[in-house]
Structure 1
Amino acid sequence: MAKSSADDEELRRACEAAIEGTKQKIVMSIRVAKSCGIWGKSGKLGRGNMAKPRVLGISTKAKVKRTKAFLRVFKYSNGGVLEHAKLYKLKHLSKVELVTNDPSGCTFMLGFDNLRNQSVAPPQWTMRNLDDRNRFLLCILNICKDVLGHLPKVVGIDVVEMALWAKENTQVVTKRQGDPEDGPYYAEVTEGDMKLTVERELVSQAEEEDMEALLGTYVMGIGEAEAFSERLKRELQALEAANVHAILENEPLIQEVLQGLESATNCVEDMDEWLCIFNVKLRHMREDIESIETRNNKLEMQSVNNKSLIEELDKLLERLHIPSEYVSCLAGGSFDETRMHENIDACEWLADALRSLEVPNLDRTYAKMRSVREKRTELDKLKTTFVRRASEFMRNYFASLVDFMISDKNYFSQRGQLKRPDHADLRYKCRTYARLLQHMKSLDKNCLGPLRKAYCGSLNLLLRREAREFANELRASTKAPKIPTVWFDGSAASNQSANSAVDTSTVSEAYSKMLTVFIPLLVDESSFFANFMCFEVPLGGSSNDDSGTTDIDDNDKAAGKKTADLEALNVSLCDLLDGIQEDFYAVVDWACKIDPLRCISMHGITERYISGQKADAAGFVRILLDDIENRISNQFSRFVDEACHQIERNERNVRQVGVLSYIPRFAILATRMEQYIQGQSRDLVDQAYTKFVTIMFVTLDKIAQADTKYADVLLLENYAAFQNSLYELANVVATLAKFYHQASESYEQSCTRFISTIIYYQFERLFQFARRIEDLMCTITPEEIPFQLGLSKVDLRKVVKSSLSGVDKSITTMYKKLQKNLTSEELLPSLWDKCKKEFLDKYDSFAQLVAKIYPGENIPDVSQMRDLLASM
């Protein structure tokens, strides 16, 4: 017999490691197979219910008064490590049932009475053999009986058979090593000596002997059940007859008992008469006592009620009392900084007093009392007076602060000195009244609207003055040469390459300084305004609440309130910052006039600020940056459109030869644009490249069509110049690489057409003869072609003689014509090589046709022609 997994000490240690920290000990651990489906006829699990390897463990935990027992299920993780999966308490084990569909008898189910979903079938556990099954179930039953004091219902398993199995396999009973408090005994069976350790057999030795004696009484060799039944009936009748005889023998004793009962009855009747008399008297006494208790209870209840009423009236009077110091502070106190503590205390008291008179905090019956209503009216008047006084003071206070700063020129930029705005002192003075505003909002939420408008109106004047003075001085102090915007006009771009080297970086630096100074300032002002003016919006500026709460109603209410506050905040921010964008626009327009290409670097700078402000509360600042970015893009688009018009004007000129002027100028422009790219301005530049190159190629085609005779020469020279000037940039710029390949294809097409024209000019009669042969081969056989008109052998000889006699002079003439038409000398070697290769390919095809159609005719060999071309 194979060794049982219950004896695997490593398995037991792995199970104990999986439940480390629970202070429980593993009594038994054994490997099983878990399934959830039914057994088929073949005794195997169905495909949809494959068995899963699991380890069942029985653990115990010793307490002071009793010991707890658990059934644990362990599973293997992806790394093969044993980890805990489920836990069942053995005190809830109600049934152990054998699965009858398993012919081996090794599959059983454990039913627990505390499982929530009883409609789902419990899992089925399959042991390796009957010994493992009996050993595991005996351990569970012993623990249930000895530790928990009850046994579950056993279905389909013979308990007596299990007890006999335990008796046969029980040799030695030992205690688990270690602390005696570690728990109960556990079963241990080894293959060598088959030792089994259990707490106690299910049937004790005395019970077993009684059962054997009882069964031995009926060992009679009975052959039929009917004879056995008859014998039992006779014995029953004999016992009944014996009982009747014993009763008759005791008749004198019965008579004595009856006499005693009669005398006792007489005594009971006399006692009943006396009890009736006493009962009447006691009833009268009880009625008197109840009357007295009723009167006492009413008096006691009246006393308790009077005491409670006095206490309630005292509490109500305490609520209705208004301290005189608070009345004087709220109705006519000062709002100086030194008195703000008193104002705050008075506000807190007034808010608490108003809340205490509201229905949730005050009984509804009290709320209808005349004194309560009068006191509430008095408090409302006090609240209205205080809020009106405080609002008027705050409006004047905001205006006075800003007027003081505007009147002092030292706060703003001056000639020769850029002044960074500093609002620290302004915010410090405003924070003195921050708590006052919070209390004003709690007293009257509508009072903050006019205050917010007054604050925005005053501070807007200060911010616009600071931005205007800063922008003016920034432009005045920045020295940068102006770059002409004419790049592709042939009459005004002679010095363009020199102008392209002029440094205008100070323009971008000035724009960056404008953003560096004012964008954080505007963000801080927006955040300070949101906090100071008690807007209930998240500081991140988003109305989306990602807190993950599950209370849908509360979330909806909070989200609606935050959305309304966010809309109000955005409206107020427009009042606070509107108009300041004009100074940013002025800087952008000034920079574009100096160097339109600086739009690229300014666009990148703006994008970096936009990406940095996405998580900020200042919604107006994000809108401002988007507007500035659009302004820069529009300015750059105007420059690109004007440059495209300059390129288009080239086609209106007189006949042009050679490389067009805008081809090398575009290379200079692209080089400079690449130097200005910052951040994500790649898209802006790539769009400009697409516009430029598209217009350049379209204009080139129009110019070429104006003179069809030299169209291919003009095209191939300009496409070659485009490739040569942009070779290095195309290796690093994907958009230019695309146009580079487009120019390369157009160059090859133009070369092919131009070379064919040169070749046909000298050898047109020869190759026209070959083309006629090729056309006829599609309709007639090669043998019939020599008999066609103009294609006889005589005609062949005439064509060969007229075209190939003095072929070296013809090739020289072809080279001179090629050289004459080209204005770019550097293209001549490559074009001449292409021309020789093309001519040789055409002549090779002609020679093959002659050999096929006119066998025996002699023409110059292809190798001779190749050697001749090589020597030219």
Structure 2
Amino acid sequence: MTAIKHALQRDIFTPNDERLLSIVNVCKAGKKKKNCFLCATVTTERPVQVRVVKVKKSDKGDFYKRQMAWELRDLAEVDAKDASKENPEFDLHFEKVYRWVASSTAEKNSFISCIWKLNQRYLRKKVEFVNVSSQLLEESVPSGESQSVAGGDEDALDDYQELNAREEQDIEGMMEVCEYAISNAEAFAEKLSKELQVLDGANIHSIMASEKQVNILMQLLDEALSEVDTIEGKMSSYEEMLQSVKEQMDQISQSNRLIQISNTNNGKLLDEIQFLVNYMDLSKGHIRALQEGDLSSSKGIEACINASEALLQCMNVALRPGHEKLMSVKQQQHLFTELRDTFSRRLTNHLNNVFVHQGHDQSSVLSQHMAELTLPKHSPLHRDLLHYAKLMEWLKNTQREKYEGLSRTYVDYMTRLYEREIKDFFEVAKIKMAGTAKEGKGNKFGLHGSSGKLTGSTSSLNKLAVQGSSSRRSQSSSLLDMGNMSASDLDVADRTKFDKGEVEESDGVVPSRQPTPGEKDMVRLMMNKVFQSIETELNSLITLGDKIDTFHSLYMLVKMSHHVWTAENVDPTSYLSTTLGNVLVTVKRNFDKCISGQIRQMEEVKISKKSKVGILPFVAGFEEFAELAETIFRNAERRGDLDKAYVKLIRAVFMNVEKVANESQKTPRDVVMMENFHHIFSTLSHLKISCLETERREAKHKYTDHLQSYVINSLGQPLEKLNHFFEGVEARVAQGVREDEVSYQLAFNKQELRKVIKEYPGKEVKKGLDNLYKKVDKHLCEEESLLQVVWHSMQDEFIRQYKHFEGLIGRCYPGSGITMEFTIGDMLEYFSSIAQSH
């Protein structure tokens, strides 16, 4: 085993700067015996590393190789299996358990003892030894081969020295002498042991021969021991002195530690005191402001605001655990509570008086604003109340019940004030509106009259209907200029009453922050109470305006829609937006009722049997409605409502024009249709209403068709006999007779043609045309000025017939020299002179 140890030291551990201290031949438990060696080693360099190394022979068996290594500090437990009986098995617990079987119990015990000593010397973390005999865990181990490996004490671990070069040469020379030194290591070791014993014997004889030197050596040893005793006595005295010094140093250290603890506690106590003083101390000035500060002056209010905020901060300070038990803290909290209650009572009483005073305010009454008809402004009152905004917020956060009671008081008195002013405002508005309304205003699109004649409405709209389009446009623009209203504009201006309404403007007061949803709901509830009468009064005013003139609904729809749109852009859930939205529903209902009423009046129109129809009143009324509506709805948000109304009205106008035309007895149907659709076409062309472009083209088509129909029917056949003659000629040609052979027909020869032509001299033709002009003049109305248009169309139709006759004469009677008694030039002169004479 010694030779193996020497070989392993030389070949494996010396190159790695390690010393081999113990070795055991083992194999794994429960497996085939594959022998290997577990080696306990230490490094030669500092710090010392202690390892357990597994070494195994190579497959060829001629050298050893290092297979695995574990650090001793990773060893958790050594299990020897049985402490009382010999057992070669043992376990080493590293990161996992390794189970080994040693070649002999002595090797196992020697190896475990070495591990124990290394653990005691080098490791702070002690390995646990289980089932190990206590004798193995002592300084000495049983004699034998392991004695030389492990040694008898801890110092034996450091006795091993590496062979020097000379020693290696001696050993190699000795091994060369013995041929079996390598092949039979045991025999070689036994030979060396015997030689060593011989040498030991020689040494003993040599020592015994030097007894005198031994005695001297022993005497020196005794003297040395005496000196050691002396030194030990001095060391003991020094140790006692150092012990007293140590005790004094411990006392000083303890004293310093207590001083440090005291300083730390004093610092913490100072922090607590500073915290309480900084956050729970209210200045005398703040206390005085809370108890007796002036709540009627700006300076006093500001002082009270600062004091109330400081008080709230002191009351809401987050106390640390244990503070509430301090008497001073309790006293301060009691003081703060009394100051809060005192100031809240003073503030509540003062604001109650302010609200009562403002609720009975008579400084600005409606009579002072009769000219412009506006609600009195309360800007000074609002500015006064804004000074208390922060105090009200403080009251809300500290005394919720008093805040709510104060809010109810404010709402009650403001409700009385605004209800009185709103009622007065709307009463004056109604008086002004009713005072300017004229009695006997007719319906805008109505046709009525007790005499049975077809008459127009007596409304201002019909008064404007007889004027030119430029006059109507100028009067429509006057709707926007009440300041320069003339007497002739009175009826139109009456309709602008709703367009001149004023609202109370804000005083430039902007809230410092946006209200929360909860605050918005609270404000809305307050406004519902304060202004609860405004929606009712608005609806009442709207109803009155609608009774006076249904056209007021146009102004109201535009204005109210604009106000709703503006309010919704600011806050779609605001009280103003909600209230105006409700009123807008009523206005829209009135507007729809107005349109339906006009349509119903068209359907109920009555026709006079004795007078000509002319431009129907509801046709003229639509023109005035459209001009007025275009002025009102210019750039309006509710343009879509007007476009829908336009379509309903124009379809009703079309239908009822045809109805009147069919029922007319005095005026030909074509004249009624022609004049009225010409008027509609002119109106739509002038106004350029995009949603009625289809109706504009339809009106033009109807006007053109009925103009042509009237011309043909009225002109008829002015040369009746001549017309009958040529109808017979055309019939013969149609039967197959050649045109140049028609003159050979007995009934259509040249003599018969000359006879018919002589019956229509120029004077007779002019006389017939003059009678025709008078007939057309009776049919047409002066308002639409279509007489010359119709007369010119008749002239064209007459010329067309004349040219047709001339063409037939030239084709059927060629070379006959037969011509009409008058020429086209004569005919043009007839039409012109007749038109000028009338």
Instruction: Name the larger-Rg structure.
Output: 2
